[in-house]
Structure 1
């Protein structure tokens, strides 16, 4: 079995900043309409980390886990509305749907998620593009209880090993940020990096991914890649 872990934002889809708008809405409800929103470098970070740092930088006191998780759940309740508002500015990246459809038909490939979103947040975003049906959510990696991407990746591969055991031949992580490359290496995966998000190709190259592309290759090329 070959496991392909997909990142979501910047790798498969661009939501037109729906997530950013949804988080900022919640921040202003908590801190007041006039509160300055701290700048957080969000690309590749988990939702928990982003919400934690927004509260920390605004208050000067590190929030509790309960405060962070409450913030994230409120953000998710707000997300569906913003996905609809920004749909004219959103899109699926080149060759994504084609690859998902192609590998869905391969019995020796499992398509999973490795994302900084929670399970609910990931499902909402993918459903907005009709992509949620391609993934095994039960054995994917989500950030409900994790702040650092490396930790959710370790948890995900533990679950995969418990399920597939000796059937796993190769593990691949597809992402658009240095954090995707890093967490892939942490679990011994072959990292496929695409410069479709906020990071330039040169910045991704510095992290030495296994393979680096401007955009996701077409399905036949991807198939040859994972079977090389």
Structure 2
């Protein structure tokens, strides 16, 4: 009998929280994302997009405001919600292109599956991408099976990524009844911005040198563990296990 992710969470004592960055950690769908941004910009402003600011690990809410500014648009109160809604629609319209024009990062599927076998683990995402688009990105490559999207932090929430981490920890505590702190929470991401968010927000950090930042940069930023990519699932599991010791195993 197959059990849903929610049923598994209810039956198990969940005391490890793993937060995955999405872009360039699990998948790379930059071409489709740029096209969706261009369409959303046109819908909202009536003008063609000339320049899209680089993501650099930032949330969509921040990218939207900067993109409007560099294209000479004065942001108004309704611009952000309208842009994010248009972005969700434009991206959904292009979901059939994700697997064709994008790629799954090396080892991503095996790493997610291997981490899911750890005792007491819940996996979700901490991403600058808005929730609907994050779901589509991972579903396109079959990477959604072990992710509980209701516990994550997303780009439509107008907070710095470090605050989004704390939001995700709060959601997990409310849902699962376990306090999540730096002792039992780990972020897995590819940029120094992810490292900074983990350190400020209260989580251990596994840096993956598959995207925006080199291994040396991730180490210098303070990542607890740095891996070249996710190809060796046993290394990923070992790092998560070492950095998220369950609270019930600690001396009181």
TM-score > 0.5, shorter chain as reference: yes
User: Hey, what does 1:62 align to over in structure 2?
Assistant: 75
Cα RMSD, aligned residues only: 2.2
Is residue 105 of structure 1 aligned with residue 117 of structure 2? yes
Residue of 158, 162, 166 corresponding to 2:170 = 158
Matches within 5 A, 1:68-83: 68-83=80-95
Is residue 200 of structure 1 aligned with residue 235 of structure 2? no
Is residue 138 of structure 1 aligned with residue 150 of structure 2? yes
Count of matched residue pairs:
226
- TM-score after normalising by structure 1: 0.88
Q: Deviations over 1:110-162 (max 9, x none)?
A: 11111112221111111111112211112111232224212211211222233
Contact 2:225 2:239 in 1 (8 A): no
Structure 2 unaligned regions, length at least 5: 1-14, 243-252
User: Hey, what does 1:177 align to over in structure 2?
Assistant: 191
Contact 2:115 2:236 in 1 (8 A): no
Structure 1 unaligned regions, length at least 5: none
- What secondary structure is seen at the aligned counterpart in 2 of 1:117? coil
Contact 2:17 2:184 in 1 (8 A): yes
- What secondary structure is seen at the aligned counterpart in 2 of 1:59? coil
Matches within 5 A, 1:3-42: 3-33=17-47, 35=48, 37-42=50-55
Contact 1:157 1:187 in 2 (8 A): no
User: Hey, what does 2:133 align to over in structure 1?
Assistant: 121
Contact 1:184 1:190 in 2 (8 A): yes
- TM-score after normalising by structure 2: 0.80
- What secondary structure is seen at the aligned counterpart in 2 of 1:112? strand
- What secondary structure is seen at the aligned counterpart in 1 of 2:40? helix
